[in-house]
Amino acid sequence: MSRVSAVSTASLTLLSELMNYDFSVHDLDEPVTDELVEKSTGIRGLVQNMRAHIGGTVRIRDLAGHRATLLQGPRFVGTATQVADQMEEWFTTDACDGFVLAATHLPGAFEDFVRLVVPELQRRGLHRKQYAGTTLREHLGLARPPTAPRLPTGPAHV
């Protein structure tokens, strides 16, 4: 029986992406310890929420199984204006520094968000209309790291 038989590969992959940690190297019945959480650089609140919900030991199987649901955070629902209002409130009151979107239906959820909500956020100055540069580094305002000196080319001399 596969280690991922009861938990879909997609759920484990999504969990690994959100936590920025490769959970596939662990057994699904292994407990999620504080040390394991500290190794991740992603959304650590998922573990805290699961611990509060389960009330005991959280195993990787539990976390991956529940990750695929929309129970982990707030749900912004309504018209494009209402969703933008809710997002603006969270963002401007420092309740968050960004959002992770989950599709409520496929196909079309992300397309609806981009077509309806993003223009409203742009009108409010909360979402960019264009990018600052041509690379991700430029968009984020990060300096280019120094490059290593190049080695001479040509035939090697021994």
Q: pLDDT, tens digit, for every residue of 29-68? A: 899 888 888 888 777 777 777 777 777 788 888 877 775 5
Q: Is the dihedral of CA 98, 102, 104, 109 positive or negative?
A: positive
Q: What is the structure's pLDDT at 114?
A: 96
Tokens standing for residue 34: 């504080």
Q: How confident is the model at residue 152 (pLDDT cuts 50, 70, 90)?
A: confident
Neighbouring residues of 21: CB distance < 8 A, sequence distance ≥ 6: 36, 39, 40, 41, 42
d(CA 74, CA 133): 33
d(CA 124, CA 45): 29
Q: Which residues, listed in sequence order, are joined to residue 59 by a DSSP beta bridge?
A: 31
The pTM score is 0.50
Q: pLDDT, tens digit, for every residue of 81-126? A: 999 999 999 999 988 888 888 777 778 889 999 999 999 999 999 9
Q: How confident is the model at residue 15 (pLDDT cuts 50, 70, 90)?
A: confident
Domain ranges of the chain: 9-67, 80-139
Residue 6 has pLDDT above 50, yes or no: no
